[in-house]
């Protein structure tokens, strides 16, 4: 088990990750991840959302990567208009994983309002 911390405490187990909000921004990210998952789950490679309850998120765990190609970032921003904003942090490889040679977006709870809360 591994633990990371930012706006959410992320507990990483062997098969799933649990994201627990520690502030308003983390809480809103959880709700936004559920909204984005429900809308785009069959269209783009998003980390599988197992459940969300009161802002706490459980997702499938994926292998990590060290770099994300710019073309992948531009592609997802083109497909999902909610992600097409300047302060979007999709260039950070920690927000991505890989599964069957496909990049998977792990952290997709951001939007312009949530990003402005930094």
Return the pLDDT at 8.
Answer: 93
**β-sheet with 49-53: strand ranges across:** 2-5, 8-12, 16-21, 56-60, 49-53
The model's confidence at residue 36, banded by pLDDT at 50, 70 and 90, is: very high
Q: How many residues does the chain have?
A: 118
pLDDT digits (tens, 9 = 90+) for 41-74: 999 999 999 999 999 999 999 999 999 999 999 9
Phi, psi of 12 (to 5 degrees): -105, 115
Q: Render 36-60 in DSSP notation, one character per residue.
A: HHHHHTTTS-B--EEEEETTEEEEE
- Beta pairing, strands 16-21 & 8-12: antiparallel
Per-residue pLDDT at 28 exceeds 80: yes
Cβ–Cβ under 8 Å, residues 69 and 35: no
Give the helix/strand (H/E) hosting 11: strand 8-12
Structure tokens, 97: 């994983």
Return the pLDDT at 4.
Answer: 67
Per-residue pLDDT at 5 exceeds 80: no
Structure tokens, 118: 């930094």
């Amino acid at each position: 088990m591994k633990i990371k911390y930012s706006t959410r405490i992320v507990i990483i187990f062997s098969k799933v990750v649990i994201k627990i909000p520690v502030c308003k921004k983390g809480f809103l990210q959880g709700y936004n991840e559920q909204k984005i998952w429900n809308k785009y789950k069959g269209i783009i490679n998003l980390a599988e959302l197992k459940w969300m309850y009161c802002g706490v998120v459980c997702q499938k765990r994926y292998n990590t990567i060290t770099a994300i190609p710019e073309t992948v970032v531009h592609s997802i921003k083109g497909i999902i208009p909610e992600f097409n904003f300047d302060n979007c942090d999709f260039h950070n490889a920690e927000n991505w994983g890989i599964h069957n040679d496909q990049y998977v977006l792990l952290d997709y709870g951001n939007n312009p309002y949530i990003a402005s809360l930094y």
